[in-house]
Amino acid sequence: MKRFVWRLQRVLDIKTKEEQRKKKELLELTEKLAQARRELLIQNKILQDIISDIASKKPQKRLGEQEFFLKYSTASNEKIKKLKNKINQLELLQREKITEVLKVKRFKEGLEKLRAEAKRQFITEQEKLEQKELDETATISFAREILKPIGS
């Protein structure tokens, strides 16, 4: 039997590699997003801890620490704002990357279906050819058997 060769196999291979590459990029982007979210949680936790610490102290001690907290919180709020912006940008990039991955995946799946159909047709054709050869061989053998007694 002949070997199945599909002329679009190279395209399928390229799309498979492209899908893997885009999935890897998506994973890296998701890791960056998770890191930014962790940083945001840490910053919020630090602020909450400082607030609860200040609230638990006596009013005389609290005044100096409140002044320090107000100066610190301005810088901290700016950092939190930047982190939120970064998270929003990363989420947007993540959605775009997911769309790209799905687009490549659908295209690749379409190619895989075409390949499966082409292979099924190839096998069917090969089976027909083999059956035709077997029939011809059987016909020739039968004709020889019939002609053998006459020629002997």
* Residue 151, pLDDT score: 52
Cα distance between residue 67 and residue 74, in whole Å: 11
Query: pTM to 2 decimals?
Result: 0.74
What is 9-151's CATH topology?
Helix Hairpins (1.10.287)
Instruction: Retrieve residue 122's tokens.
Output: 């190839």
**Residue for token pair 């638990």:** 56
Summarize pLDDT for 11-31 with one digit per residue, the tens. 999 999 999 999 999 999 999
Averaged pLDDT score across all residues of the chain = 91
Which residue ranges of the chain lie beneath pLDDT 50?
none
Collapsing DSSP states into helix, strand and coil, what is residue 93? helix
